[in-house]
Structure 1
């Protein structure tokens, strides 16, 4: 299946301003629906959602969130949303399953703010050549609950230590309460991308 990188119009951007959760600076469901309609992507989105349903993860996060691309999409002149190639769809299912069983039971609801990045966008975003985002293993997440960074780190590090290896979960932390999960390889890292600086080492 071919991906469809389409740049959103300013009119669609204005539709994202009403959120009351940490998603204020990200792209809304209304903008996503407009993007789908304008680009005639209904069939492709339905196929993607059917894949999620077959794998038992359709209820984890809204489709519009897990089809968000990079937080730097505007600076990179890319699309805020993209349907990944069908051959990588299977990669995100393990990540979503882990969110369902290990993340949300510990810290409550989360939202995805960054997922698949095509090669050009991944490079522009500063991603590694073989970034987990490049192959749709990864989601960057924000809690929707009022949780401290210390509590987030403690809960996610304990979950990773106890159950991350069997799902090959990668766990990284950015500033604030934004964090990264992928199911490409079992590992952990801190703000500089190195295992030695992971805050999990102090838990």
Structure 2
């Protein structure tokens, strides 16, 4: 009887021990999982992604005149005042618009063939407000170069001041005053017989280009007695030696 009672009591003690152990584990787990409202909280750190620097590449001018010699007169002019800075700014402006480098700077800045007689400058950077006017004309030139209409030419006059234009015998409303016109010569200054044949062929290609694309490009084309050729982008028209369309080389196309 005594042994049986002891056995029952031992069983109760074992059950109580298991119960106490289970409760202590629950309390411990709850304490570990319960958030501590007084604990210090730190902001989450986001993973930093490295940003690679973007390299801005300016368009490069299309250089097609590497074999041309720069005149000493232009180099001397470039050293005077702020001419070099003006030329650089002008060239950068044209390059950013996709028409830089089509013509060497010493040709692009030529004023008029009669600059000495008129006591003016041989080279001149146009006023900044007129820079954009030459872009459409240079686009015309670029297309002619791409299509091999012109292969050997030299620009002789671009922008002129009003006083120089008047002295040089230009029209009162000359496109040169607005920096939209360009005069050039095909072939060498003193051509031989073979040169004359090539010049004639180039002029025919020029007229064909004007006939096919001139209207859409708003292109003006003239051929003067001196053999100088004029292009601009201020009106679809053509003229010849007497400044009339009837005498234009392109009137038969």
Deviation at residue 196 of structure 1 after TM alignment: 1.7
**1:128 and 1:84 mapped to 2: Cα distance?**
18
2:178 to 135, 138, 143: 135
Aligned residues: 179
Structure 1 contact 189–197 (Cα < 8 Å) conserved:
yes
Query: Alignment partner of 1:35: what SS?
Result: helix
Structure 1 contact 66–112 (Cα < 8 Å) conserved:
yes
CA RMSD across the alignment: 2.1
Question: Is 1:66 aligned with 2:116?
Answer: no
In the alignment, what sits opposite 1:41? 83
Deviation at residue 128 of structure 1 after TM alignment: 1.1
In the alignment, what sits opposite 1:5? none
Query: Alignment partner of 1:134: what SS?
Result: helix
**2:71 and 2:99 mapped to 1: Cα distance?**
19
Question: Is 1:87 aligned with 2:129?
Answer: yes
**1:36 and 1:167 mapped to 2: Cα distance?**
33
**2:109 and 2:240 mapped to 1: Cα distance?**
25
TM-score by length of 2: 0.66
* Bigger mean CA offset, 147-156 vs 105-114: 147-156
Q: Flag as ranges the 4+ runs of structure 1 deviating above 4 A.
A: none
* Bigger mean CA offset, 99-108 vs 128-137: 99-108
Query: Alignment partner of 1:70: what SS?
Result: coil
**2:94 and 2:132 mapped to 1: Cα distance?**
9
In the alignment, what sits opposite 1:173? 223
Query: Alignment partner of 2:170: what SS?
Result: coil
Structure 2 contact 144–150 (Cα < 8 Å) conserved:
no
CA deviation string 1:39-83 (max 9, x = no partner):
332211111011110111112111110100000101111110111
Deviation at residue 121 of structure 1 after TM alignment: 0.3
Structure 2 contact 223–239 (Cα < 8 Å) conserved:
yes
In the alignment, what sits opposite 2:200? 150
TM-score by length of 1: 0.81
* Bigger mean CA offset, 65-74 vs 33-42: 33-42
In the alignment, what sits opposite 1:7? none
Structure 2 contact 74–123 (Cα < 8 Å) conserved:
yes
Query: Alignment partner of 1:156: what SS?
Result: helix
Name stretches of at least 5 consecutive residues in structure 1 with no aligned partner.
1-19
Structure 1 contact 29–64 (Cα < 8 Å) conserved:
yes
**2:187 and 2:242 mapped to 1: Cα distance?**
25
2:248 to 194, 198, 201: 198
**Bigger RCO of structures 1 and 2 (CA < 8 A, at least 6 apart):** 1
